[in-house]
Chain A
């Protein structure tokens, strides 16, 4: 009964979404205020019904209602409670429901926090968001209904994929979806601006905090995914250039370009067309990502579901939204203010370079991700693109980005001054050189690439500190504001991230070994003693557990007792590696059981992976700082000022004191 109620509430949500796509838009053209005002109650109603559907599905999982097909496929009577809840989005149908829930949250948030927007504009934004919601609700109801019944009711469910039975997977998808779906908001803002034929004076100011927040969530989602892959897949990598990773990485790259181009558009009112185009592209890439993941078009570790009708549906959706938006852009872009020239040594140039490089990186990832699909369609053979393609090109494109990053914030708007810029660069380089020497002595990376990486990281971190110091030294503009701290923090985070990547990629030690109980091996500075191997019973699996005692070489004190497991899940019998990780600020120790090697004595001899991963946590630590910086910026007071204030500030001619005036 409850499942049917869930389906009914999805249908009701769809009806509201359809009204939302039409009525406020109609009102915005006919001048009917009543219709335009409908957008808010419709948004709240939609959120209410989708939440109800989501709660009902969750309760079906908690109460183990195996008469619901989706529950029967993704749960099992032995499944622990926390994974019953995360199993709600463990499969295709449920993760789409989560998609819709997150979208409804964003839509309701826009309705709630946009009182300062002109009514006509808000009505159009809401209508576009309503169309997106309607499309996804149609998709759920027609191709992926999570509430379908299963008759006769099976005695037990098939179990959640063991890979997904993990705390990281409880929060990774919701975060990622907050980012993915959040890109719909700047998209809707861009469409509304194009429909109106002009960028209202406060447009950027309204759009920026939403974009920054969505981008922050996307950062969090990608970082969590990388962390999950690191400890859960059992081979200790943190990024694989897997098509599904790329699918979330492309909107992130374009989103990065977007948050920077918004800065220029707000401050100098140039790049308007380009900003709109980026907003459209970011959401289109989110949809493309959804298509790639959900259609099963790509061979990937993540591609669980594959169903061609779903793929065609999403492709049609992508065609409608991306095609429609680009057509609108082509028709209307010329009505916006044309760009005036920009000075060569200006902040505008710096941000333009940022945008060009990030757009190029996106194009590069897109080419590598889609090429196998294209080749397959054109009968050129079954091809996959190796990670070195992505790795090499990405580094080549990011070298100028990291070199210019500290310079951007200290460059003046409009017409910068070469001499002054050179002065800044020299001072920062001197400071960075000092820090770099210190870091190199402390970290001692192996190889040229590790050295270069650490030097670049020092340059990035000094750049942020230098910027804040310069800012607080000049008394004229007052203390650094919150968004300025946010930017410095995010850029500092990139430095932290680069330390992690350089150290892991240059200095990690990976040993795959054959070990028998009683053996001791030395890997890096540590001795690993394989003390014991025993069987343990988990809630829904049976595991072989190794006991490894780790000591510093030449020392008797125990550093860690590590317990890697090889699990066999009761339902389905899939086998999973559970790596043991001893985390640390400067290094992770990583032990994973491979396979039992001796047929006669299966528990005694194992292939074992023993890795030392220096500074690997800094990769996610850096991402965390980037995320915090973005949220800090998004919460700046000036985005919460009323309309009048934003209009006033924007018409003031840009202050010549570039570095101090704000982005």
Chain B
């Protein structure tokens, strides 16, 4: 092997090692931070263990929202039409949170079967439903009947 070739080989192997290391670290960090989306039916069917972090999505059951009179603790049912999970959240619910609307909660199951959320997301645009939630409702046999708001009536009127 000529010195040039040798140097190139070393360089190549060095770069390869560096890249593999970087990719390895990235994938490791990625695996650690992946949040799976689960519908209430998924939670029941897959028997998810308490303590495991995931995203729970569905509709907020009408009439289910309760608030603690002293603190910011709120609890409500999330449903996909088939199964229902009780969610507990300590904090301020987002502006678009409402009964009958789609919601995604980040958190984990407690031993009692309740879902303890550290974050609750509702969409900014009230005509819009997160694709995961729409998909979950569909799988549970409750396809989303698109609620036609004024803006959508206008928009579809032209087509």
Which A residues lie at the B interface, using CB under 8 A? Answer: 69, 72-73, 148-152, 154, 157-159, 161, 163, 234, 299, 301, 304, 360, 363-364, 367-368, 371, 381-389, 392-393, 396, 512-514, 566, 571-577, 594-595, 597, 607, 609
Contact = CB atoms under 8 A, between A and B. Distances in A.
Given A382-B36, A595-B92, A150 B154 contact: yes
Contact of B35 (A386, A393, A594): A386
B103 to A, nearest CB: 13
Interface residue tally of chain B, by bracket? 35 or more
Contacts of B34: 371, 383-386
Interface in B113-127: 123-126
A72 B67 CA distance: 39
Contacts of A595: 92-93, 95, 97
Contacts of B29: 389, 392-393
9 contacts: A72-B158, A73-B154, A382-B36, A386-B35, A389-B32, A571-B151, A572-B149, A594-B72, A595-B92
B95 A514 contact: no
B1 interface: no
Given A367-B30, A382-B132, A383-B34, A571 B150 contact: yes
Contact of B154 (A158, A367, A383): A158
Contacts of A388: 32-33
A512 B124 contact: no
A294 B37 CA distance: 23
B16 interface: no
Given A73-B151, A389-B32, A382 B135 contact: yes
A333 to B, nearest CB: 17
B72 A607 contact: yes
A514 B151 contact: no
A385 B135 contact: no
B117 to A, nearest CB: 14
B71 interface: yes
A576 B30 contact: no
A513 B71 CA distance: 8
B100 interface: no
A150 B157 contact: yes
B17 interface: no
B141 interface: no
Contacts of B154: 69, 72-73, 150, 154, 157-158
Nearest to A592: B92
Interface in B89-140: 91-93, 95-97, 123-126, 128, 130-132, 135
A597 B97 CA distance: 13
Contact of A575 (B25, B33, B96, B135): B96
A158 B150 contact: yes
B37 A384 contact: yes
A38 B71 CA distance: 71
B92 A364 contact: no
Interface in B27-77: 29-30, 32-37, 55, 67, 70-72
Contacts of A566: 95
B71 to A, nearest CB: 6
Contacts of B33: 385-389
A234 B70 CA distance: 23
Contacts, number: 111
Contacts of A152: 157
B113 to A, nearest CB: 22
B9 interface: no
Contacts of B135: 382
Contacts of B126: 572-574
B63 to A, nearest CB: 13
A72 B29 CA distance: 46
Nearest to A609: B92
Nearest to B157: A150
B155 A512 contact: no
B158 A512 contact: no
A257 to B, nearest CB: 15
A231 to B, nearest CB: 15
B158 A381 contact: no
Contacts of A573: 126
B144 interface: no
Contacts of A389: 29-30, 32-33
Contacts of A234: 95
A14 B71 CA distance: 60
A381 B42 CA distance: 11
Nearest to A234: B95
B159 to A, nearest CB: 9
A150 B35 CA distance: 42
A168 to B, nearest CB: 15
B41 to A, nearest CB: 14
A609 B133 CA distance: 28
A514 B90 CA distance: 11
Contacts of B96: 574-575
A233 to B, nearest CB: 8
B13 interface: no
Given A73-B155, A299-B131, A382-B132, A572 B35 contact: no
Interface in B10-28: 22, 25-26
Given A371-B34, A384-B35, 13 more contacts: A72-B154, A73-B154, A150-B154, A151-B158, A360-B22, A384-B34, A386-B35, A388-B32, A393-B26, A514-B70, A566-B95, A574-B95, A594-B93
A299 B134 CA distance: 12
A595 B96 CA distance: 11
A493 to B, nearest CB: 27
A661 B16 CA distance: 34
A389 to B, nearest CB: 4
Contacts of B71: 514
Q: Which of A72, A158, A163 has the most CB of B within 10 A?
A: A158
Contacts of A393: 25-26, 29
B2 to A, nearest CB: 15
B158 A149 contact: yes
A646 to B, nearest CB: 33
A577 B95 contact: yes
Shortest Cβ-Cβ A-B pairs, 7 listed = A158-B151, A594-B92, A382-B37, A389-B33, A386-B33, A150-B158, A69-B158
A392 B28 CA distance: 12
Contacts of A371: 30, 34
Contacts of A385: 30, 33-35
Contacts of A396: 25
